[in-house]
Structure 1
Amino acid sequence: MKKDHDKFGAYPEAEIEPGVTGTTQTVYDRDADVFGDESNAQIQYRTLSWQMVAVLMIAEIVSNGMLSLPSSLAIVGIVPGVIIILFLGIFATFTSWILIKFKLRHPQVHSMGDAGYILFGPIGREILAAGTVIFAVCATGGQLLAGQIALAELSDNKLCLMLYTGIFAIPTMIFSMPRTLDKLSWMSVPSVISIIVAGLVGMIGAGLNPVPDRVLDIVRASDFTTAFISITNPVFSYAGHFMFFILISEMKDPRGAMKAAYTLQGVATGFYIIFAIVMYYYIGSGVASPAFSSLPPAWAKAAYGIALPNFLIAGSLYAHTAAKLIFVRIFRRTRHIHDHSAVGWGTWMFLIFLANGLAFLLAVGVPIFNYLIGIAASLFASWYTYGIAGMFWLHDCYHKYGGYHGFRERWAMTTLNILTILCGAFICVAGMYVSVWSIIQAYDDGTIPEPFSC
């Protein structure tokens, strides 16, 4: 039976049909897919296996945010810190499952903006799309600053910090230029290896050079603001869900996306806990953020040097995401998506340059940029990674299972998803509060540098 097309030129959602074993399985409607029929296309997007999607997810999530986790344990204590990291890993896995189910039922969804249109109409599309682009550009800038710190450490701060950022921004822009994620996925393999090896080198360096008379706390009392600042480190170390729809849209078979998500969360959570415990145990309450800066100079240089490919590729992935969302929005269902046209390539190169250029300007020209990253994460990542998943589930349950009757029949999942929304709201509001508080404190302490300063 013919289905009506929605305003994206795609079918509203895929059907759920009985499987051969009597269970239910999602039947992914390829005709409704955002990239349509690619059989004769010059540029083909749907080429990723679930394994390569897992690599991409790990490359962009397990990155410089990991280096702040030991300092979180130093503020709240080792037991609460580990419990928080573990809980957030399980929570992120749950929200990943909901996002992926939503994508399978709505193949036309390419980004959070498209999902926002389904939930809230045109206004929702613009808000969630803008939030994705803003957060992706800020995340790119965050990786440029990580690269700046690494290059400065490797060269003993011989150049102006702004120059280090500019030097790192050039390869970040170059590596973000491929039109398809398949090319970036192969670059992400050494990226994943580099951050894991760098973490191991950091732990070995800390173990061989323990801080004498270090202070370790099983549980440590703290005021709400200080404690929540420490909690934001693990909260936003899982903040990669805003890319999931874009990644899944370029899979050969999106039904394998959950395998990639399980791999991501298993690797991320396990490695986060081990890294945080080991670094905190050997360095103690004085551990810096990023943690590599607490190591002896030779070990710090080795760890930062090995981590550089990860900072580079993660930044490229974020910039690619910002450009890809706008590019698909402009050219969806036109020949410029799949053809080597001058218009298509010209627009793509401009968007890549714009995303990386804005990230560089923010990183070196806005003195409070580190705090702005926290504000952007609070405003958007808190919802994309946590809260909005509950809205996705409630929307599909309402429309597929008879409205409020479906909620009553599935009261446990309904309650869980309402709590998910409330959790996202709490992280958003509390994160905004502590970010603004941190900016005020930094100005009072005189620690805010001048724009474009060294």
Structure 2
Amino acid sequence: MNTTMEESYEKKDATLALGAEVDGASSFETIEALVAEVGGIDHEHEIALRTMSWQKTAVLLAGDQVCLAIMAQSWSFSVLGWVPGIITSVLCGILFWVTSITMHKFIMKYPQIKDICDFGYYVFGQSKVAYVFSSFMLLANNILLIGFHVLTGAKVLNTLSSHTLCTAVFSVITAIMGIVMSAPRTLHHVSFMSMFSSACMGIAILLFMVFAGIEKAPLYGYSGDYPTAGPVKTYAFPQPGTTWVDCMNAVLNITFLWVPQILFPSFIAEMERPQDFPKALAVLAAISTILFIVPPAIGFRYLGQYATAPAFGSLGVVSYKKASFGFVIVPTLIIGVIYANVTAKFIYKKIMGKSRHAHSNTVIGWGVWFLVMLFIWAVAYVFSEVVPSMGDFLSLLSAAFDSFFGFIFFAVAYWQLNKGKLFSGLGQTAMTLLNVFILLVGLFILGPGLYAAVEAIIADYSGSVTPAFTCANSAL
């Protein structure tokens, strides 16, 4: 029975891969049939994948998005000022919704897509080159992001312990905890962790806003200890002396926060009803709109030009800083686990193929899974020691990867979905022009944005940034 079902699925998948297109009601019939067949096989496996409802998917999305990067936005506002800062945040939110819906429509047309690499393969006309390129970008982006969370974990532990151990040792401890927590092989199990991640990050943000409001003055900023740069102030536009590189990196920090789509195809691939993904997306959009604008605005209001990335570092009372920043350790680890799971699953699938070990509780299956996780976190640890600062990490990731996975891929997907009717009516024309703008934004972030990110890293290494694999104190 299993063999017959798997052969049937493979034939259907092959037919779709050859470019058979479906639209409207027939599209959903194809999706239902594909999911039903795969689900029938999948639920008979010891390790089943298509098990997530849209509610669990929403929790997983929130766990990924409610992260420390929110606390870097007060610094972005301090560089850009109120007007460019708010406009950039709102614009990124709008483009996030448009590109995510385009991505979902494309996956509904090609429901055999399992990850962003498959997405790149189909969106560029079933190009093997696009698949290889997308695979490299997926691995590089996710491992760098895991490295960012290793760096963050070391910073949290340094801050809480007042630097009782070497920073490189704290990074190792964070990586080991990440490996242990990455044991589950399905996102269904990881989604439960995401609830705790979101809750802890929410508490950290709430405590930060309270402490920032009640303390007398910030502790320090990039221009020196308070009141070196004068009384706390806010401003509508960038201050005199602000460089183009500073502004571009501030924009990249905001862009990074709004571009999580690299994981979306992997999440959709584990949903029982992929067509329900927009419901989860709507929940995420509502949460993101509030959290990505309100806390950073409050932080800028009370920290002004002294805002740092993350903003916890500017709190004037050390106990306030430790009390709020300490909660960040939970989302730091769990978000790292989410990216590690998606990355490991991609590598694991290439190694195990369709063998029984890929979906069964065998010694070989679990042994290979553990070794893949060990490799991912080890490489991430190296990156965490090499890239000099959190701000540099976010800017580099945004420019190198978000340009493709947040903008360029989805502008091309829109073109693929609407070939022959790009200007058939006022509404369609407006959407086409919007997607041309999305493509241009992606190209701008990839070109001038990447240049600005590299310039910032060079400047940091020529300044006071500590060298790689150091024992120097990295506490806030």
Question: Would you say same fold, with TM above 0.5?
Answer: yes
Give the counterpart of 1:273 among 293, 296, 302. 293
Residue deviations 1:100-156 (CA, integer Å, cap 9, x gap): 111121111111111122133111001111101111011011111111111111111
Query: How far apart, CA to CA, are the structure 1 residues paired with 2:386 and 2:37?
Result: 37
Superposed displacement of residue 30, structure 1: 4.2
* Matching residue of 1:429: 447
* Matching residue of 2:283: 263
1:154 aligns with 2:160: yes
1:393 aligns with 2:414: yes
Superposed displacement of residue 225, structure 1: 1.8
Residue deviations 1:379-426 (CA, integer Å, cap 9, x gap): 21221122211111211223xxxxxx3223243322222221111111
Superposed displacement of residue 357, structure 1: 1.1
Judge conservation of contact 2:388–2:468 (CA < 8 Å) in 1.
Answer: yes
Query: How far apart, CA to CA, are the structure 2 residues paired with 1:328 and 1:132?
Result: 14
* Matching residue of 1:364: 385
Structure 2 stretches lacking a partner, 5+ long: 1-8, 219-230
1:316 aligns with 2:337: yes
Q: 1:175 to 1:33 in 2, by over 3 A?
A: farther
1:119 aligns with 2:126: no
* Matching residue of 1:294: 314
Judge conservation of contact 1:336–1:344 (CA < 8 Å) in 2.
Answer: yes
Structure 1 stretches lacking a partner, 5+ long: 399-404
Residue deviations 1:38-62 (CA, integer Å, cap 9, x gap): 2422111111111111111121122
Task: Please say which of residues 4-13 and 222-231 is displaced more in the overlay.
Answer: 4-13
Superposed displacement of residue 72, structure 1: 0.8
Residue deviations 1:153-192 (CA, integer Å, cap 9, x gap): 1111221111111111111111112110011000110100
Query: How far apart, CA to CA, are the structure 2 residues paired with 1:346 and 1:413?
Result: 49
* Matching residue of 1:402: none
Opposite residue 52 of structure 2, the aligned amino acid is L
Query: How far apart, CA to CA, are the structure 1 residues paired with 2:389 and 2:326?
Result: 26
* Matching residue of 1:78: 82
* Matching residue of 2:4: none
Give the counterpart of 1:420 among 417, 423, 438. 438
* Matching residue of 2:261: 241
State the secondary structure of the residue aligned to 1:217.
Answer: coil
* Matching residue of 2:192: 186
Q: 1:257 to 1:11 in 2, by over 3 A?
A: farther
* Matching residue of 2:22: 15
Judge conservation of contact 1:150–1:305 (CA < 8 Å) in 2.
Answer: yes
* Matching residue of 2:461: 443
Q: 1:369 to 1:87 in 2, by over 3 A?
A: closer
Query: How far apart, CA to CA, are the structure 1 residues paired with 2:438 and 2:307?
Result: 32
Judge conservation of contact 1:34–1:107 (CA < 8 Å) in 2.
Answer: no
State the secondary structure of the residue aligned to 2:366.
Answer: helix
Query: How far apart, CA to CA, are the structure 2 residues paired with 1:302 and 1:98?
Result: 41
* Matching residue of 1:145: 151
* Matching residue of 2:221: none
Query: How far apart, CA to CA, are the structure 1 residues paired with 2:356 and 2:17?
Result: 16
Opposite residue 407 of structure 1, the aligned amino acid is L
Query: How far apart, CA to CA, are the structure 2 residues paired with 1:305 and 1:446?
Result: 26
Query: How far apart, CA to CA, are the structure 1 residues paired with 2:388 and 2:79?
Result: 25
Q: 1:59 to 1:334 in 2, by over 3 A?
A: same
* Matching residue of 2:423: 408
The alignment covers a number of residue pairs equal to 444
1:94 aligns with 2:101: no
Superposed displacement of residue 76, structure 1: 1.1
Superposed displacement of residue 448, structure 1: 4.8
State the secondary structure of the residue aligned to 1:250.
Answer: coil
State the secondary structure of the residue aligned to 1:47.
Answer: coil
* Matching residue of 1:342: 363
Opposite residue 206 of structure 1, the aligned amino acid is A
Query: How far apart, CA to CA, are the structure 2 residues paired with 1:273 and 1:100?
Result: 25
% identical equivalent positions: 26
Opposite residue 417 of structure 1, the aligned amino acid is N
* Matching residue of 2:375: 354
**RMSD of aligned Cα (Å):** 2.6
